[in-house]
């Protein structure tokens, strides 16, 4: 049985991938996409964006690589947070990510303010689309889809997760306690900035 959060994530991912693929046809005139990078290079850039995004969260949350996919000219990388982010702290968590993305020069393209499953959507100037969605049991999911680029083989991500390396598709629902993110009282101050 699929969990509701996975269904929502799958639908969002399909919509995002469709939007990326719809834009592939005219990028270089023959439908091959951008020729300034290949799929492996685009995947490495996607991993770097996700590394920086999760590095902006303080106190840090535990995360794991989730199933990644590649199409004919795009790659989607995913990371799933296993730290419990309470309903009372979800707004703070999304705020940290939104502020970091804006500070990094990314355009916020949409915000879903649903109380149980909020999400934020963004785009980089070079065509990477990404989102943060809160899903089943408050689990935070990051998805990032590359623009259409030159076809190539794609390797697994090399960044090590800061917790267990779960097999793809086997990540548990949130089970790691954080004194800050798991607290059941609203945050009276914004989340602290990460230490450098």
Average pLDDT, the chain: 85
- What gap in Å lies between CA 141 and CA 46, rounded to an integer? 15
The per-residue pLDDT for 187 is: 84
Q: Is residue 155 part of a domain?
A: no
The per-residue pLDDT for 29 is: 37
The per-residue pLDDT for 193 is: 54
What is the pLDDT averaged over residues 65-89?
97
The per-residue pLDDT for 115 is: 86
Q: Is residue 195 part of a domain?
A: no
Q: Is residue 92 part of a domain?
A: yes
The per-residue pLDDT for 33 is: 59
**Tokens standing for 14?**
């399909």
pTM beyond cutoff 0.75: yes
What is the pLDDT averaged over residues 27-36?
55
Q: Is residue 116 part of a domain?
A: yes
Q: Per residue, what are the HEC states of the chain?
A: CCCHHHHHHHHHHHHHHHHHHHCCCCCCCCCCCEEEEEHHHHHHHHHHHHHHHHHCCCCCCCEEEEEEEECCCCEEEEEEECECCCHHHHHHHHHHHHHHHHHCCCEEEEEECCCCCCEEEEECCCCCEEEEEECHHHCEEEEEECCCEECCCCCCCCCCCCCCCCCCCCCCCCCECCCCCCCCCCCCCCCCCCCC
pLDDT at 150 over 50: yes
What is the pLDDT averaged over residues 56-71?
97
Residue 65 φ/ψ, nearest 5 degrees:
-70, 135
Q: Is residue 30 part of a domain?
A: yes
Q: Is residue 103 part of a domain?
A: yes
Which CATH number do you get for residue 17?
3.30.2030
- Number of domains within the chain: 1
The residue range of the domain holding 137 is: 4-150
pLDDT tens per residue, range 83-124: 999 999 999 999 999 999 999 999 999 999 998 899 999 999
Q: Is residue 13 part of a domain?
A: yes
- What gap in Å lies between CA 25 and CA 41, rounded to an integer? 20
The per-residue pLDDT for 192 is: 57
pLDDT at 188 over 60: yes
Owner of token pair 């020729």: 35
Q: Is residue 146 part of a domain?
A: yes
**Tokens standing for 192?**
């602290």
The per-residue pLDDT for 148 is: 98
The per-residue pLDDT for 4 is: 47
């Amino acid at each position: 049985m699929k969990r509701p959060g996975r269904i929502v994530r799958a639908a969002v991912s399909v919509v995002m991938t469709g939007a990326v693929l719809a834009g592939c046809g005219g990028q270089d005139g023959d439908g091959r996409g951008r020729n300034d990078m290949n799929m492996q290079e685009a995947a490495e850039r996607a991993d770097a964006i996700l590394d920086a995004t999760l590095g902006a969260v303080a106190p840090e949350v535990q995360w794991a690589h989730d199933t990644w996919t590649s199409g004919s000219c795009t790659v989607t990388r995913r990371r799933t947070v296993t730290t419990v982010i309470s309903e009372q702290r979800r707004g703070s968590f999304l705020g940290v990510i939104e502020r970091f993305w804006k500070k990094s020069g990314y355009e916020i393209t949409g915000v879903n303010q649903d109380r149980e499953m909020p999400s934020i959507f963004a785009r980089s100037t070079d065509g990477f689309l990404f989102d943060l969605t809160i899903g089943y049991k408050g689990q935070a999911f990051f998805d990032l889809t590359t623009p259409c680029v030159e076809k190539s083989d794609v390797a697994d991500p090399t960044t090590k997760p800061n917790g267990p390396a779960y097999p793809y598709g086997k990540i548990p629902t949130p089970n790691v306690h954080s004194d800050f993110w798991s607290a059941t009282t609203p945050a009276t101050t914004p989340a602290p900035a990460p230490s450098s």
